Amino acid sequence: MKPTAIVTGGSRGIGRAVVEELVRTHTVVATYNSNREAAEAVAAATGAVILPCQLGDPKSCEEFLAALSARFESVDLLVNNAGMAPRERRDILEATPESFDELFATNLKGPYFLTQQIARGMLARETGRIVFVGSISSFTASTSRGDYCMTKAAISMAVKLFAARLAPHNIQVFEIEPGIIRTDMIASVAAAYEERIAGGLLPQRRMGEPADVAKAVRAIADGQLDYSTGQVLHVDGGFHLRIL
């Protein structure tokens, strides 16, 4: 029997690439928020199970967990991928409480408490792996989307907390920090990024692809990093390097 993996936000972009990678070895449950058509396309192409889950809504998360437990006895791998960018980029001096609350609910509170629930099941079996997909925005100040940056900085600490708590129980926790990845999230600014990358923004002078992130998840899923819990994997073309 294949191990079971959950990939939140699995209907497009990085999430879809992770689903496509993991179905080779896992029974994959891919969550989606509102785009059921895209999720069904992923299911048709990969054989993944699709379930709705709006991470920012506790009731939706409860319904997802109930549906999950009705179909699967255990979860072996959780990939916290789902997240959102601000609906509108605003200077931090013009930012709104509404955007702040929405991003923190979706990008931080949702995955934090979903992980709490999944980890409890893993504790009972003393095994499991958990991945949080963070961002270079956790350490890179973008003053036009401060709320997003703060959610990703907080995710980095969540990784440390869960890694420390779960390590004695053979449950490994990792953070993957993608850089500039070719997805819908950056479509409106992709041309500007391409120009900056050509000018030397990244040591590896190309934009990342969703498959680059999926390969990092593969290494974790295969147990290649099981003695490295709490590790941050930079999938950013070398952006995190400090070069003089």
- Chain segment 53-110, per-residue pLDDT in tens: 999 999 999 999 999 999 999 999 999 999 999 999 999 999 999 999 999 999 999 9
CATH number of residue 146's parent domain: 3.40.50.720
Token pair belonging to 136: 């270079």
User: pLDDT confidence of 187, banded at 50, 70, 90?
Assistant: confident
Does some domain include residue 65? yes
- Domain assignment of residue 193, yes or no: yes
User: What's the pLDDT score for residue 206?
Assistant: 96
Residue 185 — pLDDT band, cuts 50, 70, 90? confident
Give the pLDDT of residue 149: 98
Element (H, E) at 28: strand 27-32
Catalytic residue among 32, 148, 193, 227: 148
Distance CA 79, CA 7 (A): 5
Q: Is the per-residue pLDDT at 34 higher than 90?
A: no
Structural domain range at position 119: 4-235
CB 33 within 8 A of CB 9: yes
**pLDDT of res. 186:** 83
Distance CA 82, CA 7 (A): 8
Q: In this predicted structure, what is the pLDDT of residue 105? A: 97
Q: What residue type is assigned to position 69 of the chain?
A: S
**pLDDT at residue 189, rounded to an integer:** 84
Say what the pLDDT of residue 41 is: 96
Kindly state whether residue 241 falls inside one of the protein's structural domains.
no
Query: What pLDDT is stored for residue 46 in this prediction?
Result: 97
In a domain, 171, yes or no: yes
**Has 148 been annotated as catalytic?**
yes
Are residues 61 and 110 in contact, defined by beta-carbon separation less than 8 angstroms?
A: yes
For the chain, the average pLDDT equals 96
Share of the chain above pLDDT 90, in %: 95
Query: pLDDT tens digit string along 125-155?
Result: 999 999 999 999 999 999 999 999 999 999 9
Evaluate whether residue 243 is within a structural domain.
no
Average pLDDT on 5-12 reads: 97
Total domains in the fold of the chain: 1
Token representation of residue 89: 């980029």
Q: Would you state the pLDDT for residue 238?
A: 98
Would 244 be classed as within a structural domain? no
Q: What is the pLDDT of residue 184?
A: 84
Chain segment 196-228, per-residue pLDDT in tens: 999 999 999 999 999 999 999 999 999 999 999
Taking each continuous run of H as one helix and of E as one strand, the counts in the chain are 8, 7
Q: Is residue 242 part of a domain?
A: no
- Of 239, 45, 37, whose CA–CA distance to 142 is shortest? 239
Residues whose CB is less than 8 angstroms from the CB of residue 94 and which lie 6 or more positions away in sequence, other chains included: none
Assess whether pLDDT exceeds 90 at residue 244: no
Q: Which of 219, 194, 216, 223 is nearest to 206 (CA)?
A: 194
Share of residues in the chain with pLDDT > 70 (%)? 100
Q: Contact 96/105 with Cβ under 8 angstroms?
A: no
